[in-house]
A and B are shown apart, each in its own frame.
Chain A
Amino acid sequence: DAEITQSPRHKITETGRQVTLACHQTWNHNNMFWYRQDLGHGLRLIHYSYGVHDTNKGEVSDGYSVSRSNTEDLPLTLESAASSQTSVYFCASSDPGRGAGNEQFFGPGTRLTVL
């Protein structure tokens, strides 16, 4: 079955380190998204991509970067991790021609702690 996976599921790192969170989907969806979820804020969009070599900033993109070299993967990089980036990170994908229109399919999440 097609799916979307994230790795690692849990990560503890230190302030200042570079961290990369992986996201892989097998639906061949063009659209991919990264969110962070924090208490009191819901899901906030970090970066998104509409296809290979396309990336766009979301509402909370400072300190994060993404690159899209193929359809299946959109890794999220924290250039220099900060304690404020402690959060749960979700990757999602969608394709307007599939599912319920603009339905996004979410991965299981990565719980990141920055000490």
Chain B
Amino acid sequence: QKEVEQDPGPLSVPEGAIVSLNCTYSNSAFQYFMWYRQYSRKGPELLMYTYSSGNKEDGRFTAQVDKSSKYISLFIRDSQPSDSATYLCAIHGSSNTGKLIFGQGTTLQVKP
């Protein structure tokens, strides 16, 4: 079993839709949860991060962590064509190694 699982998609939605992207993880000790966004032929960039359980909101984006289910989500409201990208979840363990474990990435296309 992989430590982090993410549905690779692809996911295609119409402009304005609510998008839900999800990852599951196996180790209950994981504490830092991140979402990276990667545009085509670019390097990933940090979009949001959360520590432990709960929600974090930033504009149209909401990151949610459910540690009891080992499940993390990224919600995009009022999706725009500019949101078309690959979204990768990343998890950092409890030890301060600096290493991140990445999901496979979900490719999202928002159609005008």
Contact = CB atoms under 8 A, between A and B. Distances in A.
Interface residues of B, number: 23
B57 to A, nearest CB: 16
B102 interface: yes
Contacts, number: 54
B96 interface: yes
B88 A42 contact: yes
B32 interface: yes
Nearest to B48: A100
B49 interface: yes
Contacts of A90: 43-44
B51 to A, nearest CB: 8
A48 B46 CA distance: 19
A102 B44 contact: no
18 contacts: A41-B104, A42-B6, A42-B88, A43-B105, A50-B98, A90-B43, A90-B44, A100-B49, A101-B51, A102-B92, A103-B34, A104-B46, A104-B100, A106-B43, A106-B45, A109-B41, A109-B42, A109-B43
Interface of B: 6, 8, 32, 34, 41-46, 49, 51, 88, 90, 92, 96, 98-100, 102-105
Q: Shortest 9 CB-CB distances between A and B: which pairs?
A: A106-B43, A42-B104, A43-B102, A31-B98, A102-B92, A100-B49, A103-B46, A106-B44, A42-B102
Interface of A: 31, 33, 35, 40-43, 45, 48, 50, 90, 92, 94, 96, 99-104, 106-109
